[in-house]
Amino acid sequence: MKHYLAALGLVLLQATAVLPGGQAPTAPAADVGKDVATLPKVRLIATGGTISNRTGSRLTADELLQSMPGLDRYVRAEAEQFANVASSELSIPQWLDLARRINAVFSREPDLAGIVVTSGTDTLEEMAYFLNLTVRSDKPVVIVGSMRNPSTLGYEGAANLLDGFRVAAEPSARGKGVLVVLNDDINAARDVTKTDARRLDTFQSRDYGVLGVVDSDRVVFHRAGVKRHTAATEFDVSPLKDLPRVDVILVYQGASGDLIKAAVDQGARGIVIASAGAGATSGTQRDGIQYAVSKGVFVVTSTRTGSGRIAAGRRERQDDDERGDGSLRIAAEDLAPLKARVLLMLGIAAKADGAAIQRMFMEY
Gap between the Cα atoms of 129 and 143, Å rounded: 10
* 193 is annotated as an active-site residue: no
User: How distant is the alpha carbon of residue 25 from its chain centre?
Assistant: 37
The closest of 176, 167, 215, 209 to 192, measured between CA atoms, is 209
The closest of 108, 124, 94, 130 to 41, measured between CA atoms, is 108
Q: Which of 47, 50, 193, 233 is catalytic?
A: 50
Question: Exposure pattern of 35-49 as b/e (b: 16+ CB <10 Å)?
Answer: eeeeebbbbbbbbbb
How far the first Cα of the chain sits from its last, in Å, is: 74
Gap between the Cα atoms of 329 and 294, Å rounded: 11
Which residue stretches of the chain are H helix? Answer: 2-16, 29-37, 61-66, 92-108, 124-134, 157-169, 258-265, 285-294, 337-349, 354-363
Which residues are tagged catalytic? 50
